[in-house]
Amino acid sequence: MSRPGRYDVLVLGGGTAGCVLAARLSEDPGTSVCLVEAGPDYGPRDGGRWPAEMLDARILPLASHAWEKLDPDDRSQSRARIIGGCSSHNACVVLEGTPEDYDEWGPGWRYAEIAPYLDRAGRALGTRTFAPEELSPWHAAFAEAAGEDAIIHPVNADGAVRLNAAFAYLDPARGRPNLTILGDTVADRVLLDGDRATGALTSAGEIRAGVVVLASGAYGSPGVLLRSGIGPEQGLPVGQNLIDHVGVGIGWVATDRLQEETARFEARHPAFMGQVSVRGRSSICEEGTWDTFLFPALDPGYVISAAVFSMKPRSTGRVGLSGPEPEAPLAIDHGFFSDPSDVDVVTEAFEAIRELARSGPVAPYAAREHHPGAEVGAREHVLAAHRGFFHPVGTCAIGSVVDEAGRVHGIEGLRVADASVMPTIPRVNTNLSTAAVAERVAELVLADR
């Protein structure tokens, strides 16, 4: 590992986007690349150093390698502090949004333009789709009940091993002499010479570069920009327009049949937490598409639950600073339900999941509703217990903060290439779209060299 010095490109953030950028940029042997990640780099998949919980694709180890110690009942946000970022602890769901989702982003990002990058990212992540016989009894019941509205998940998993972005992208690149990976290195701020970025100040010292690319996510990237003095001072709404899918959970007591059938299933196949999503349509949904997801979950011990989400929410929030230090928790206000129409959409989705649980295929597995309880009204529960889906986007949006190539307005040599540039949210899990953004921006950076 080289010591901090000067590089052609400096990538700040080693999550999904950062891994994609580092790998693609270093494919050019004439481009020296430094990737900075605040959390540990456990090396390649076959190195034997990765913690077991981060490898296990069946579970969500959200409390492990987290940026902030949050209340365990607060499921509004989750930031992974580890190489691979949230791809190292997520549900491995690899879904593409609708063409209309990307068309909203404008020139350079319309579906016809981003589709090749979505495809490239999906292949790089080793995506496969669960076969019908791989579905647990719980998930198979929802798939049967939902019919054509059921989506059997494509996943980046090898058996029960999570194929995070570090394995998919960095492992093939680790031997390149032009790639330096700095783990346990916190990015503080971008170094500026007038209106040009010249590098970054990190916990390992100053790192100089010809181009700086922020890939710290929809929370972290605006944090770095704001600490750098880039934002309202330049008329840029950095940290505004925070969007996440918003929803609420429900839980049931598992029947004896569910436990017995799942035990027999697990003797042959891994039991994943999530394998199926169900598309739903609220009363305000546009014709021919969907705007809600119903997400059944199976946790260790055969704990059965589900969550429902508004997938095209209208509410927005913001990310700000609580202090000048890079380790200070960010001031995050999701603004959930700031648009009251989102309350109506989630309430309708919650009523739909209750109805689905009473259907013929699902009812034999779900006994009494223990959370929130059948006596609790849908709207009451939604208002009291809503949360995010861990899919934040929008805080360095294309158009308002960056241009169509990810370049920060008014600052030369500085780009953003992660979920924060998405001006609107796709109606699916966002990891694939994030990887596609980084794939495209990496290509644009090399084209400009």
d(CA 140, CA 137): 5
- Strand stretches in 176-302, DSSP E: 179-182, 187-193, 196-202, 205-214, 246-254, 276-280, 292-299
Across the strands, what pairs with 162?
157
pLDDT of residue 391: 97
pLDDT of residue 2: 42
pLDDT of residue 240: 98
The three-state secondary structure class of 330 is strand
Give per-residue pLDDT as tens, 361-376. Answer: 999 999 999 999 999 9
The single-letter DSSP state of residue 3 is P
CB 439 within 8 A of CB 19: no
Give per-residue pLDDT as tens, 295-312. Answer: 999 999 999 999 999 999
pLDDT of residue 288: 94
Average pLDDT over the chain, rounded to an integer: 96
List, in order, residues 6 or more apart from 187 with CB less than 8 Å away: 12, 13, 36, 38, 200, 201, 202, 216, 220, 224, 326
Q: Give the residue among 133, 373, 132, 138 at the shortest CA–CA distance from 255.
A: 138
Residues 131-134: contacts with CB within 8 Å, 24+ apart?
133/269, 134/269, 134/275
Question: Looking at the predicted structure, is the pLDDT value of residue 68 above 80?
Answer: no
d(CA 188, CA 93): 31
Give per-residue pLDDT as tens, 125-146. Answer: 999 999 999 999 999 999 999 9
Give per-residue pLDDT as tens, 380-394. Answer: 999 999 999 999 999
pLDDT of residue 1: 38
pLDDT of residue 72: 55
pTM above 0.95, yes or no: yes
Q: What tokens appear for 149 in the block?
A: 């509205």
The three-state secondary structure class of 282 is coil
Q: How far apart are the first and last CA of the chain?
A: 25
More confident residue, 68 or 32: 32
C-beta neighbour count of 92 within 10 angstroms: 25
Question: Looking at the predicted structure, is the pLDDT value of residue 397 above 60?
Answer: yes
